[in-house]
Chain A
Amino acid sequence: MSDATVGRLQTIFPELTPEHHPVLGTVAGGSAASSVGGQVPSVISVPIEIDPRIERMVRLAILSAPAVILVGPPGSGKTTLLRQVVDRIVADPKSFGFQAGPTGVEWSAAEENWSATDLVGGQTIDGGELRFRPGRVLSAVAGGRWLIIDEVNRADMDRIFGGLLTWLSGQDVTLGAVSPSIGSPQVELGWSGTATCSVENAQLLTNPMTGAGPVRYLAGTEWRLLGTYNALDAQRVFRFGHALGRRFLRVPIPAADADKFRIALLGQDSGLPEPLLDAIVAIYSAHLMNSMTTLGPALFLRMADYIAAGVGTDAETLTGVGQVDRELLAEAYLVNVGTWLREMEDELPSLGRAIVEEHHALGQSEWEWIVEMSRVLS
């Protein structure tokens, strides 16, 4: 035992058998010890208790299938939950039912202009010559790392991933030739019979004439493709086609109910007057009334931060009922949620009625101001 205080605690409480557990997270500012490469997406911390059943579904889905996607409204904590579950699996794979687990995790945030070459691999100009360049999937397989794609709805996955449907079903696929030269070896993607990943004839990628090939990327049985999918955004951007969608296990991550949201909001200890906190809860509740307007709690929790910042910088005294309070509340709503209001244009009249008339969280004039200002954000 290297820590003297821990040692003394063991001496002080000899009747307790010390239990050794994995450390609880990584040092702030750092990344998971085994995370490498890729663009690490920002993590919205959602201080809301996740339903243990939801967490179990995520764990078991990852254990039982090669491709899993977490689906839910923006701000519902999909990325945070996925990161936490994956970090725990990486730290202690055997406890989660894996033999070896991944060597690391590669995070990518999906982009609209992604092509199949970016994600899977394909021929591209390299030093004046056309050469096959591995994309994110092949690179991850080569390194034994899991690939996690955040917000997959931002990219046209049907188009990009269409060629890999067969592979996700467990079959080998040919991705193309290493170079356009006649007799150039092929690049194939398949599954190995073992838990770990491997690459055969990798040297042919740089020296294609030194062998017949093929170059074979073999994903281990424990390799995983994971992602998050923003259901609201997807209604306007890209949807998963059924053919691709059924290759993924899809785990729903719903928005927290109003009671859990209230507990989390109070837990932030923002120091705001209770009527203002009630108003934030009321706006959140109004959004929950319709599946087309449902948003996760993270966006609304940040409203309290905005209002609290206003108090700190404007030296205004909030009473919870005054004009300044209502203005700050409306501004906080606009800057945190305004962009999403543009995604639910058809639902705005009913949402406005719910917020103004049913929940009395905002005045009619403030609501109209929010709707008008949100158009600038679209």
Chain B
Amino acid sequence: MTGLFGDLDDPQRLRDGIIDAVKHGIGASRNDASKWDPLYRFFADELGVGDGQKGGPVIGKLVTEQKQIGNRCDEMAKSNPVYAVISVLGDVTPEHMLNAMRKRGRLPSLKAALFLREDTPVRLVIFDE
């Protein structure tokens, strides 16, 4: 199968595709509304999730400062995602994000969150209990 990021038939290539999409999100300008489009298209094309558009079952988030955590969580809640890919930078940790997500309790459809420290995957949290 050929996707945006080349031949993506095996886990390593799928992994590279997701990480490349996260790198794109990190490198995009702060106000770029389409910064996560590659991630959405990747999930649609390679994993059959969503239609590749923003507002679908996948959401990408970049959190660079602790003061952004609340807003990022609220933004996620608005689109009620099923899968979240969250990159944290600086002094923000996945635990900070998880605590805020848990505290708000407004992500009832979320099944999994992949956390990355910048572009390195660090935690895979599955919400099924």
Contact = CB atoms under 8 A, between A and B. Distances in A.
Asked whether A and B interact, the reply is yes
Given A16-B124, A19-B125, A92-B129, A28 B11 contact: no
Contact of B110 (A24, A48, A49, A84): A24
B11 to A, nearest CB: 5
Interface in B97-120: 98-112, 114
Given A9-B112, A16-B122, A24 B101 contact: yes
B4 interface: no
Contact of B14 (A8, A15, A19, A21): A8
Interface string A83-101: 0100110011000000000
Interface string A149-179: 0000000000000000000000000000000
A1 to B, nearest CB: 8
Contact of A10 (B75, B123, B124): B124
Contacts of A22: 127, 129
Contacts of B14: 8, 12
Nearest to A3: B111
Contacts of B101: 24
B92 interface: no
Contacts, number: 113
B87 interface: no
Given A49-B100, A84-B103, A5 B121 contact: no
A92 B127 CA distance: 13
A66 to B, nearest CB: 25
A25 B108 contact: yes
Contacts of B82: 5
A264 interface: yes
B121 A13 contact: yes
B21 interface: no
Nearest to A47: B74
Nearest to A19: B125
Contacts of B107: 24-25
Interface in A34-92: 45, 47-50, 52, 55, 84, 87-88, 91-92
B74 A15 contact: no
Contact of A24 (B70, B71, B75, B102): B102
A8 B18 CA distance: 12
B27 to A, nearest CB: 21
Contacts of B102: 21, 24, 88
A28 B108 contact: yes
A14 B108 contact: no
A19 B108 contact: no
A242 interface: no
Contact of A14 (B11, B109, B123): B11
Given A84-B105, A88-B102, A20 B126 contact: yes
B28 to A, nearest CB: 18
B39 interface: no
B67 interface: yes
A24 B83 contact: no
9 contacts: A9-B114, A10-B124, A12-B14, A13-B15, A15-B121, A16-B122, A19-B124, A25-B105, A47-B74
List the 6 closest pairs (A to B, CB-CB), nearest first: A267-B71, A25-B105, A24-B107, A16-B124, A25-B108, A49-B70
Given A5-B112, A52-B99, 15 more contacts: A1-B126, A3-B111, A5-B111, A12-B14, A13-B114, A13-B121, A15-B121, A22-B129, A23-B128, A25-B105, A25-B107, A48-B70, A49-B69, A49-B100, A92-B129
